[in-house]
Amino acid sequence: MMSTKNVAEMLRIAGLRPTRQRMLLGELLFGQGHRHATAEMLHHEAVDAGERVSLATVYNTLHQFKRAGLLRELAIDGAKAYFDTNTSNHNHFFYEREGKLVDIPEDSIRIDGVPEAPAGMVISHIDVVVRLAPK
Amino acid sequence: MMSTKNVAEMLRIAGLRPTRQRMLLGELLFGQGHRHATAEMLHHEAVDAGERVSLATVYNTLHQFKRAGLLRELAIDGAKAYFDTNTSNHNHFFYEREGKLVDIPEDSIRIDGVPEAPAGMVISHIDVVVRLAPK
DNA sequence: CTGTGTGCAAACTCTTTGCATAAGT
DNA sequence: ACTTATGCAAAGAGTTTGCACACAG
């Protein structure tokens, strides 16, 4: 639950000017707990809320947030990019039919036996996606 | 290592006519052990080999093969679709810089504590991608 | 022959980019 | 004022589709 003041602070720390659009998107993303969003969803929400933002700016802002470590980008179904406000290592259910993404609690899944990274490489992240289909 | 004869047989079983293009792509995909490919890679290989196939046909064929259960589609980096000739449950290293995909042996990684699928849903697959960055 | 497959080009979706204008400090 | 951000529209990548022609059975 991040307040308006905290969004401003968050932007300042990330070295991003607290413009109207960034404040807006920051509040949509971080204002009520963790969430998953696509650029389109956010743009739609912003417009619904009567605010003026272009889709291009939504994309730009998402990438700036990502670069600042505030978001993680998830490649789930190829078609579109999902952004996750929870940047810690956790996993996801993906409802294939609806394209919906739901967190799996952090401590639920345990992965053993991950091979070492090849020489000169480091593991940057391990993504686990549990795909769900209607029974 | 699938021979030409086996590709023809494979297509027949899948209910797909063994056309020149399908034979070609089938051999590129299944001719020398398991592999990962994008539509573009295959098209390029086919053209390099002096064969005539359109990119649209490559896409169509990949989806037909997928529908027949011969391939699995992997959503790894959002930008492009990878197809994997190994349809069994195994996992992948992904070299983020190069966009390269490498298998992790099937018995290496063990996943515990996967929550049950929500009501009315079944787990269709669990994807594990170990992302690698240069050190 | 009859029906399915193919090629081409055009359409489509999602995303990125270039550049003039607007807004932040 | 000076710099950075935004909006728009156009471009770009990857993928899909419609339809006439070609090929397999």
Q: pLDDT by residue (tens digit) across B83-101?
A: 999 998 889 999 988 888 9
Q: Is residue B112 part of a domain?
A: no
Q: Is residue B91 part of a domain?
A: no
CA-nearest residue to A83 within chain B is B78
How far apart CA B110 and CA B45 sit, in angstroms, is 35
Query: Mean pLDDT across chain A, nearest whole number?
Result: 91
CA distance A87 to chain B (A): 15
How far apart CA A105 and CA A128 sit, in angstroms, is 12
Find the CB nearest A78 among B81, B112, B131: B81
- Residue-wise pLDDT tens digits, B25-77: 999 999 988 999 999 999 999 999 888 899 999 999 999 999 999 999 998 88
The CA-CA-CA angle for residues B34, B38, B43, to 5°, reads: 105
How far apart CA A45 and CA A27 sit, in angstroms, is 11
Yes or no, beta carbons of B124 and A132 under 8 Å apart: yes
Give the range of the structural domain holding residue A23, as residue numbers without chain letter: 4-70
**Can you name the residues that pair with A31 across neighbouring β-strands?**
A33
Question: Which are the contacts of A65, defined by CB distance < 8 A and separation ≥ 6?
Answer: A14, A25, A26, A29, A71, A83
Residue B1 has what pLDDT? 63
Question: What's the average model confidence in pLDDT over B108-134?
Answer: 92
Residue B93 has what pLDDT? 94
Residue B5 has what pLDDT? 74
Confidence check: pLDDT of A4 > 70: yes
Q: B14 burial class (0-12, 13-18, 19+ CB within 10 angstroms)?
A: middle
Q: Return phi, psi of residue B104, to 5°.
A: -105, 130
How far apart CA B45 and CA B25 sit, in angstroms, is 9
Q: Is residue B108 part of a domain?
A: no
Yes or no, beta carbons of B110 and A108 under 8 Å apart: no
Yes or no, beta carbons of B128 and A128 under 8 Å apart: yes
Question: What's the average model confidence in pLDDT over A100-107?
Answer: 88
Which residues of B fall within a CB distance of 8 Å from A112?
Answer: 109-112
How far apart CA A8 and CA A28 sit, in angstroms, is 13
Find the CB nearest B96 among A118, A124, A132: A124
- Residue-wise pLDDT tens digits, A72-95: 999 988 789 999 999 988 899 999
Q: Is residue A93 part of a domain?
A: no
Per the structure, how many domains does chain A have? 1
In three-state secondary structure terms, A22 is helix
Q: Is residue B52 part of a domain?
A: yes
Q: Is residue A121 part of a domain?
A: no
Residue A94 has what pLDDT? 93
Q: Is residue B26 part of a domain?
A: yes
How far apart CA B22 and CA B61 sit, in angstroms, is 7
Cα B117 to Cα A35, A75, A91, B122, distances in angstroms: 20, 21, 14, 6
In CATH, what number is assigned to the domain containing residue B17? 1.10.10.10
Q: What is the dihedral of CA B8, B11, B13, B17, to 10 degrees?
A: -100
Place of tokens 């023809």: B8
- Residue-wise pLDDT tens digits, A7-37: 999 999 999 999 999 999 999 999 988 999 9
B9 touches strand D (CB under 7 A): no
Confidence check: pLDDT of A1 > 70: no
Q: Is residue A119 part of a domain?
A: no
Residue B3 has what pLDDT? 79
Residues B26, B68: contact at Cβ < 8 Å? no
Strand D positions within 7 A of protein Cβ atoms: 4-10, 13-18, 23-25
Confidence check: pLDDT of A132 > 70: yes
